[in-house]
Amino acid sequence: MHGEADIITDPSASKALYQKAKVKDKKLCLYKDAFHTLLEGEPDETIFHVLDDIISWLDDHSSTKNKV
Protein backbone atom coordinates (compact mmCIF):
# COMPACT_ATOMS: atom_id res chain seq x y z
CA MET A 1 0.00 0.00 0.00
CA HIS A 2 1.52 3.26 -1.07
CA GLY A 3 0.38 6.74 -1.96
CA GLU A 4 1.61 7.73 -5.40
CA ALA A 5 2.13 11.32 -4.19
CA ASP A 6 4.24 10.23 -1.19
CA ILE A 7 7.21 12.58 -0.79
CA ILE A 8 8.64 10.80 2.29
CA THR A 9 9.12 7.36 0.76
CA ASP A 10 9.29 7.10 -3.00
CA PRO A 11 6.56 4.81 -4.37
CA SER A 12 9.17 3.20 -6.61
CA ALA A 13 10.61 1.55 -3.47
CA SER A 14 7.34 -0.29 -2.89
CA LYS A 15 7.15 -1.22 -6.56
CA ALA A 16 10.70 -2.62 -6.45
CA LEU A 17 9.99 -4.59 -3.27
CA TYR A 18 6.83 -6.01 -4.82
CA GLN A 19 8.71 -7.08 -7.95
CA LYS A 20 11.54 -8.68 -5.97
CA ALA A 21 9.30 -10.60 -3.57
CA LYS A 22 9.43 -14.22 -4.60
CA VAL A 23 6.03 -15.14 -3.15
CA LYS A 24 3.04 -15.56 -5.45
CA ASP A 25 0.45 -14.37 -2.94
CA LYS A 26 1.16 -10.66 -3.01
CA LYS A 27 -0.62 -7.46 -3.89
CA LEU A 28 0.57 -3.91 -4.42
CA CYS A 29 -2.02 -1.20 -3.90
CA LEU A 30 -1.11 2.26 -5.16
CA TYR A 31 -3.38 5.20 -4.40
CA LYS A 32 -3.39 8.09 -6.83
CA ASP A 33 -2.84 11.52 -5.24
CA ALA A 34 -2.41 9.94 -1.77
CA PHE A 35 0.55 10.81 0.43
CA HIS A 36 2.54 8.95 3.12
CA THR A 37 -0.10 8.46 5.81
CA LEU A 38 -2.92 6.71 3.98
CA LEU A 39 -5.39 6.66 6.88
CA GLU A 40 -4.87 10.19 8.16
CA GLY A 41 -5.04 13.52 6.40
CA GLU A 42 -6.40 12.09 3.17
CA PRO A 43 -9.89 12.72 1.76
CA ASP A 44 -12.54 10.41 3.22
CA GLU A 45 -12.94 8.71 -0.16
CA THR A 46 -9.26 7.69 -0.14
CA ILE A 47 -9.36 6.54 3.48
CA PHE A 48 -12.44 4.40 2.83
CA HIS A 49 -10.81 2.93 -0.29
CA VAL A 50 -7.69 1.98 1.71
CA LEU A 51 -9.80 0.49 4.52
CA ASP A 52 -11.84 -1.50 1.99
CA ASP A 53 -8.63 -2.90 0.51
CA ILE A 54 -7.33 -3.87 3.97
CA ILE A 55 -10.60 -5.58 4.90
CA SER A 56 -10.76 -7.40 1.55
CA TRP A 57 -7.20 -8.67 1.97
CA LEU A 58 -7.92 -9.85 5.51
CA ASP A 59 -11.12 -11.56 4.38
CA ASP A 60 -9.30 -13.28 1.52
CA HIS A 61 -6.59 -14.56 3.87
CA SER A 62 -8.73 -15.58 6.83
CA SER A 63 -9.61 -19.16 7.58
CA THR A 64 -13.12 -20.06 6.47
CA LYS A 65 -13.45 -22.18 9.63
CA ASN A 66 -13.68 -19.04 11.74
CA LYS A 67 -16.16 -17.12 9.60
CA VAL A 68 -19.59 -16.53 11.07
Domain that holds residue 51: 2-66
Report the pLDDT value the prediction gives residue 68, as an integer from 0 to 100.
Answer: 57
| Per-residue pLDDT at 65 exceeds 90 | no
Distance CA(58)–CA(51), nearest Å, equals 11
Q: How far is CA 14 from the centre of its chain?
A: 10
| Per-residue pLDDT at 66 exceeds 60 | no
Full-model pTM = 0.84
10-61 pLDDT, tens digit each = 999 999 999 999 999 999 999 999 999 999 999 999 999 999 999 999 999 9
Residue 63's pLDDT band, with cuts at 50, 70 and 90, is confident
Distance CA(67)–CA(23), nearest Å, equals 26
For 38-62, give one letter per residue: b (16+ CB within 10 A) or e.
beeebeeebbebbeeeeeeeeeeee
